Amino acid sequence: MKRNDGLLTKKFDKLLIANRGEIAMRILRAAHELGIDTVAVYSDADRYAPHVRYAKEAYYIGPSPARESYLVIEKILDVAQKAGAQAIHPGYGFLAERAEFAQACVDHDIVFVGPPAEAIRTMGDKQMARQTVTAAGVPVVPGTPAGTDEELIAAGSEMGFPLLVKATAGGGGKGMRPVYEAAALPDAIAAARREAAAAFGDGTVYLEKMIVEGRHIEIQLMADSHGNAIYLGERECSLQRRHQKLIEEAPSFAVDEDLRRRMGEVAVAAAKAVNYVNAGTIEFLMDKDKKFYFLEMNTRLQVEHPVTELVTGVDIVQEMLRVARGRKLRIRQEDVKMQGWAIECRINAEDPYNNYLPSTGLVTTSRAPTGPGVRVDTGVFRGYEVTPYYDSMISKLICYGETRAEAILRMRRALAEYRVMGVKTNIPFHQHMMDSHRFLSGRFDTKFVEREFSMSDREATDELEAAILATLVAHRQGQQASQIVSPGTRDASNWKYLGRWERLRR
């Protein structure tokens, strides 16, 4: 059925996943559990990727650069029609928040597993989003309308510093510049315009008051096409670098039941203001006095959705597919209970000792951790080539415990077990963070990683560990990586000794 707001919902039994990597695998598995046939798409770089092998059908869509493959709407729709797919799930990134893609799906009688195009369009424009949610009674960070350089410079002097120059389009920190004094504002505006124009094709910017010592808290939403909308608690996303999230957890150390309810109700009001349907996230900035302000809405599935799934028991991806089929939400607000604690570390192919530069190459070893409370979402395997064409994230490591302390202990163990060789990863960064007193006590904000966190005091021990590991791998090549032996015997595995080293250096 097609509603007046342009949303198409109908039963479908064949789904195309317009994405790659770990999120494609996540959606494929959810669809298989629901008995839905799946179609994958792939570029040259992904010809042998796991999602291509896992799907029932797979179609080539072009060269490795995303602008020639995963970002070409016509190619995705052409494959859907050839394969007979009645629905498309965009995952996140690529075309997930392109209103024109959502509308093109509907125009071709294909279900877009996401919100209506108009909701994406409204919430994708930060100025329009601010105006819309303000009208619905949602608190927003004080800011200015978009304007000329002269108007923004005058408004900035009146607002006071520090403040942010922000692009009205896009996200991910692009087109954003912090400004701490009036003299730096003209250059910041010019730089933000250039970056926004290059990234989004729109150099429009505005000013927003900077929340000092703020936390980034987001609320997960689900809404159906029958007027029902609920929130699934909050996620703590303050540990960031250059506005890119690194570690997320649910619930937040800084949010109590009353604050959770108030933030959730405001988030639902914001979603209803744009007739939102399917999964989405309202992001808030919260100051040190626990006053919260609307930041933006992500009109898609979030990278960090697994932590919410673990503490609520709700399979968000399956719920998205059911809602897209026109069904009502299976749970009511009073049914949502947050139990336990979950933490997610984004494992990126990058060098934490060299300004986090991306690391490309062939993955020669990939051994993911297992055990109680450990989940790994990945699309990487031994022999996989990490290319410069896509995001550097190679997996998500998620650990669950009955308490935050138990979740952290499991994360420490899982990080120690994780083995990726052939490319550099940020696993040492996460290990260092799990030992940080500030992290353990929950005393951090969005600037903590960039302002106060350093890898320098860990570098010597990590270099020694890497040397030991490389020696052991070379020595054990072609043999079983680990042996089960009694401690103290002559045949004790070198991997066992490495485990002892891990414990000693902590």
Candidate from 210-214, 289-293, 381-385 with smallest mean pLDDT: 210-214
CATH, residue 391: 3.30.470.20
Judge whether 6 lies within some domain. no
What is the full DSSP assignment across 324-359? HTTPPPS--GGG----SEEEEEEEESEETTTTTEE-
**Helices 99-107 and 117-124, interaxial angle, to 10°?**
170
Residue 207 has pLDDT above 50, yes or no: yes
Residue 388 has pLDDT above 90, yes or no: yes
Measured distance CA(57)–CA(63) in Å, rounded = 19
Q: Do 266 and 123 sit in the same domain of this protein?
A: yes
**Continuous H helices in 387-487:** 404-417, 427-434, 437-440, 448-452, 459-476
Judge whether 438 lies within some domain. yes
Q: Catalytic residue at 300? A: yes
One-letter identity of residue 474: A
Single out the catalytic residue among 300, 325, 346, 413: 300
Of 112, 133, 123, the C-alpha closest to 3 is: 112
Judge whether 4 lies within some domain. no
Q: Do 396 and 449 sit in the same domain of this protein?
A: yes
Q: Do 317 and 398 sit in the same domain of this protein?
A: no
At 481, is the pLDDT very low, low, confident or very high (cuts 50, 70, 90)? very low
Between 158 and 19, residue with greater pLDDT: 19
The model's pLDDT over 119-177, given as tens digits with 9 standing for 90+, comes to: 999 999 888 999 999 999 999 988 898 999 999 999 999 999 999 999 988 666 788 99
One-letter identity of residue 114: G
Average pLDDT of the residues in 84-105: 97
Q: Do 122 and 246 sit in the same domain of this protein?
A: yes
Judge whether 2 lies within some domain. no
Q: Do 68 and 176 sit in the same domain of this protein?
A: no
pLDDT of residue 5: 63
Average pLDDT of the residues in 276-303: 96
Which of residues 339, 370, 400 is at a domain's end? 339
Judge whether 362 lies within some domain. yes
Residue 3 has pLDDT above 90, yes or no: no
What is the phi/psi pair of residue 467, to 5°? -65, -45
Q: Do 203 and 99 sit in the same domain of this protein?
A: no
Q: By residue range, what is the domain housing residue 147?
A: 142-209
Partners of residue 42 on adjacent β-strands:
60
Between 299 and 501, residue with greater pLDDT: 299
Measured distance CA(41)–CA(60) in Å, rounded = 6
Total tally of structural domains belonging to the chain: 5
User: For the chain, give me the number of helices (H) and strands (E)?
Assistant: 17, 22
Residue 464 has pLDDT above 90, yes or no: no
Which of residues 163, 190, 209 is at a domain's end? 209
Judge whether 1 lies within some domain. no
Whether 207 and 164 have beta carbons less than 8 Å apart is answered as: yes
CATH, residue 97: 3.40.50.20
Measured distance CA(221)–CA(360) in Å, rounded = 35
CATH, residue 175: 3.30.1490.20
Q: Do 146 and 187 sit in the same domain of this protein?
A: yes
Q: Do 119 and 108 sit in the same domain of this protein?
A: no
The model's pLDDT over 331-378, given as tens digits with 9 standing for 90+, comes to: 999 999 999 999 999 999 999 999 999 999 999 999 999 999 999 999
Judge whether 51 lies within some domain. yes
For the chain, the first-to-last Cα distance in angstroms comes to: 59
Measured distance CA(120)–CA(131) in Å, rounded = 15
Average pLDDT of the residues in 396-425: 98
At 470, is the pLDDT very low, low, confident or very high (cuts 50, 70, 90)? low
Measured distance CA(41)–CA(57) in Å, rounded = 9
Residue 275 has pLDDT above 50, yes or no: yes
What does the DSSP 8-state code read for residue 426? S
**Percentage of the chain with pLDDT > 90?**
79
Three-state DSSP at 199 gives: helix
Judge whether 471 lies within some domain. yes
Which of residues 209, 227, 249 is at a domain's end? 209
Q: How far is CA 191 from the centre of its chain?
A: 26
Q: Do 288 and 372 sit in the same domain of this protein?
A: no
Measured distance CA(360)–CA(93) in Å, rounded = 20
**Percentage of the chain with pLDDT > 70?**
89
Q: Do 219 and 322 sit in the same domain of this protein?
A: yes
pTM: 0.85
Measured distance CA(351)–CA(278) in Å, rounded = 37
Q: Do 120 and 222 sit in the same domain of this protein?
A: yes
Whether 70 and 43 have beta carbons less than 8 Å apart is answered as: yes
Q: Do 395 and 437 sit in the same domain of this protein?
A: yes
**Helices 459-476 and 494-505, interaxial angle, to 10°?**
170
Of 331, 161, 304, 302, the C-alpha closest to 236 is: 304
One-letter identity of residue 383: G
Between 450 and 271, residue with greater pLDDT: 271
pLDDT of residue 213: 87
